[in-house]
Amino acid sequence: MFVFVCAGCGADLTAPLGQVPLPVHAHQHYGNGIQLPVLMEPGTFAVEPEPWGPPWRRWADIDPGEAEARGVFAPVHALSDGAPGAVVIAPGESHGTVLIPENRGSGYCCGLDGASGPNLACAACGRPVATRIDDCSLWQAVWLDPTAVRRVPVAGAEAPPLSWAELMRSGEGTPPFEPLTQWGSRPEEQWWASWSPRWEAAAGRALAHLLVASDGRPVTVPDGLVADVFRSTLDALLPVGPPPRHAVLAGPGLPGPEADVDILLVPIHPQTGRTWAPAEWAASASLVPLPFGVWRSMAFPEPYLPVPRSGRMPAGVRPEEDYPLPPPRHHPPFRVDGAIFRATLVRLPAVRTPWLRELLDHQRRF
């Protein structure tokens, strides 16, 4: 556990927090005017290992050797020249800060988007220390500037991370559908069931790994939610004809995959960030990582309970908490988050192979 303090005066800026992996949807921009919830769980923080935020440099101004040294192997619109190691927390976990007046209203639509850099200052000394994000279509968060804060360990015993078996007993999945609202609307007054933005982000990252693991051959996936998420996109992007590679879900609580399986969709531990490892005999299979909650809901889908077909939800009932949402009656096909797909693929060295580079150059929104 750590408390983050101002690097200038040492004032506390957060409650005690424990580190977890950076969510795959941390930088997601979803829809237009959509009210997204808080990014981080209470009591947690995550670290962005790469530079992020202003100032930005366009790709034309960056030497390819410099980009590869930073782990970027194909062109992108721009690269950040900000400091690596930004720390993201839930807005409710920060304290001892005040808004910087000249930055509070720049580059926003419905709230703050941080386009002009830090907009929170240490209340004790006035040093800019963080950026509050709460604009529409962005996940609500506070990003601490790694050059303006430092972490201080908190004394006391820490609980060890849960084992995979303990996670399976206590962890919950991430539902594939969730209620969305327009900015400024109350959930009980105007909401609709949609594919989860978290699923679209997770699928964007996983698709990049699936394409690399395909070696340019077709990929088969099992029926159910895995097929709903990946099949049509894989069929559209990969050729028809060569012998296919077979991808299946694998992980705790599932039987071992069959011998002819080439690709395993596996969970990432939500506390440590480690990828589940298969038994030795399946170690040669390519691993495609999925956030634990998404993987769990794919592997063990929950039955859907009835919800009101019309009118308001009953008083005191929150649909996202008390009812697993059913698939919308005429929901559109699943769409992978194209921006997260591209951001993942350009950071995989295999993108330099001709067929993947051509796919990336011609890829548009899914």
Write the DSSP assignment of 124-159 as a string of letters.
TT--EEEEEE--TTB-BEEEE-TTTEEEEE--S--P
**Digit-coded pLDDT (tens) for 266-277:** 999 999 999 998
**In whole numbers, what is the pLDDT of the chain averaged over residues?**
86
Q: How far apart are CA 83 and CA 118, in angstroms?
A: 13
| 34-38, 98-102, 224-228, 282-286: range with lowest mean pLDDT | 282-286
pTM of the entire predicted model: 0.87
Quick one: pLDDT at residue 155? 82
> Do the Cβ atoms of 95 and 14 come closer than 8 Å?
yes
Strand 18-19 vs strand 44-48: parallel, antiparallel, or unpaired? parallel
The pLDDT of 289-294, averaged and rounded, is 96
Neighbours of 105 (CB within 10 A): 12
Among 124, 226, 52, which Cα is nearest to 234's?
Answer: 226
347 alpha carbon, distance to own chain's centre: 16
**Digit-coded pLDDT (tens) for 77-86:** 999 998 999 9
> Do the Cβ atoms of 46 and 40 come closer than 8 Å?
yes
Quick one: pLDDT at residue 244? 93
Neighbours of 364 (CB within 10 A): 5
Tokens 């548009």, residue?
A: 364
Half-sphere exposure of 200 (CA within 13 A, CB side): 21
Say if residue 195's pLDDT is above 70: yes
Considering only residues 27 and 366, tell me which one the structure prediction assigns the higher pLDDT.
Answer: 27
Strand 128-133 vs strand 78-80: parallel, antiparallel, or unpaired? unpaired
Confidence of residue 305 (pLDDT cuts 50, 70, 90): very low
**Digit-coded pLDDT (tens) for 113-168:** 777 788 999 999 999 999 999 888 899 999 999 999 999 999 876 778 899 999 99
Q: What percent of the chain has pLDDT over 70?
A: 85
For 220, residues 6+ apart whose C-beta sits below 8 A from its C-beta are 244, 245, 246, 247
DSSP-based three-state secondary structure for 344: helix
DSSP-based three-state secondary structure for 232: helix
| 279-283, 290-294, 328-332, 349-353: range with lowest mean pLDDT | 328-332
For residue 350, give the amino acid letter.
A
Is residue 292 classed exposed, middle or buried when 0-12, 13-18 and 19+ CB atoms within 10 A define those classes?
Answer: buried
Cis ω on the peptide bond leading into residue 55 (within 30° of 0)? yes
Half-sphere exposure of 72 (CA within 13 A, CB side): 19
Q: How far apart are CA 261 and CA 247, in angstroms?
A: 6
**Digit-coded pLDDT (tens) for 54-77:** 888 999 999 989 999 999 999 999
Quick one: pLDDT at residue 265? 96
Is residue 32 classed exposed, middle or buried when 0-12, 13-18 and 19+ CB atoms within 10 A define those classes?
Answer: exposed
